[in-house]
């Protein structure tokens, strides 16, 4: 089975709870990371966690609550106000990798999620 089809099934495998675990672990790490804490809005990390969680649920085959609340994702455009260079991109991927590992899914789920985060974070880069 190709990754494309597994993408659609990740929600069925890990559920709301799985995505909640990933984003909770990620946002535990953001305030402790010198690069990421300088980029994220420190007064609204809960909101940022919620938006990321809802997006991931939608992207991986769950309910489309993200778009119902926020409209088209247009994530590259939405990230333009934040200076995302190679260092920030790499740190994001590193912390998300730690979060996914901590969440404790099976290898195939980990591999699909990591591949998505790796490629999408590169796409989000908007500064040299
Ligand atoms: C796999 C890559 C990524 C995905 C899927 C992702 C997803 C998202 C989503 C869904 C939002 C909320 C957009 C909205 O509705 O307003 C968001 C916001 C944000 N992202 Fe990302 N992002 C990624 C990479 C990055 C990277 C590499 C950085 C910086 C290092 C970053 C920093 C931010 C910041 C600062 C916000 C604003 C927080 C907020 O929602 O208030 N993101 N991201």
CATH assignment at residue 61: 1.10.490.10
pLDDT in tens, 43-61: 999 999 999 999 999 999 9
Give the HSE-up count for residue 78: Cα atoms under 13 Å, Cβ half-sphere.
Answer: 11
The per-residue pLDDT for 17 is 98
26 is a domain residue: yes
Helix (H) or strand (E) holding 59: helix 45-59
Q: How many residues does the chain have?
A: 128
Tell me the CA–centroid distance for residue 69 and ligand 1, in Å.
16
pLDDT band at 4 (very low <50, low <70, confident <90, very high): low
Q: Please give the C-alpha separations between residue 55 and each of 34, 39, 65, 83, 87, in angstroms, as whole numbers.
A: 25, 19, 8, 21, 24
The answer as to whether 92 is a domain residue is yes
Say how many C-beta atoms besides its own lie within 10 A of residue 73's C-beta.
13
Query: How many domains in the chain?
Result: 1
Within-domain flag for 128: no
- Quote the domain boundaries for residue 17: 3-123
* Alpha carbon nearest to ligand 1 atom 23, residue: 121
The alpha carbon of 112 and the centre of ligand 1 are apart by a number of angstroms equal to: 19
C-alpha–C-alpha distance, residues 78 and 57, integer Å: 18
Prediction pTM value: 0.95
Residue of 38, 82, 86 to mutate, ligand 1, most atoms within 8 A of C-beta? 82
- Residue identifier of the C-alpha nearest atom 25 of ligand 1: 121
State what percent of residues in the chain have pLDDT above 90. Answer: 93
Res 2 pLDDT > 80: no
């Amino acid at each position: 089975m190709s990754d494309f089809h597994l993408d659609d099934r990740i929600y069925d495998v890990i559920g709301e709870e799985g995505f909640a675990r990933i984003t909770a672990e990620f946002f535990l790490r953001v305030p402790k990371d010198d690069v990421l804490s300088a980029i994220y809005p420190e007064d609204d990390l809960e909101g940022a966690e919620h938006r990321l969680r809802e997006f991931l649920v939608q992207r991986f085959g769950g309910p489309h609550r993200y778009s119902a609340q926020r409209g088209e994702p247009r994530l590259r455009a939405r990230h333009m106000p934040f200076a995302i260079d190679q260092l920030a991109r790499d740190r994001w991927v590193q912390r998300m990798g730690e979060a996914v590992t901590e969440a404790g899914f099976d290898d195939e789920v980990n591999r699909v999620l990591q591949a998505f985060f790796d490629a999408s974070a590169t796409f989000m880069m908007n500064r040299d």
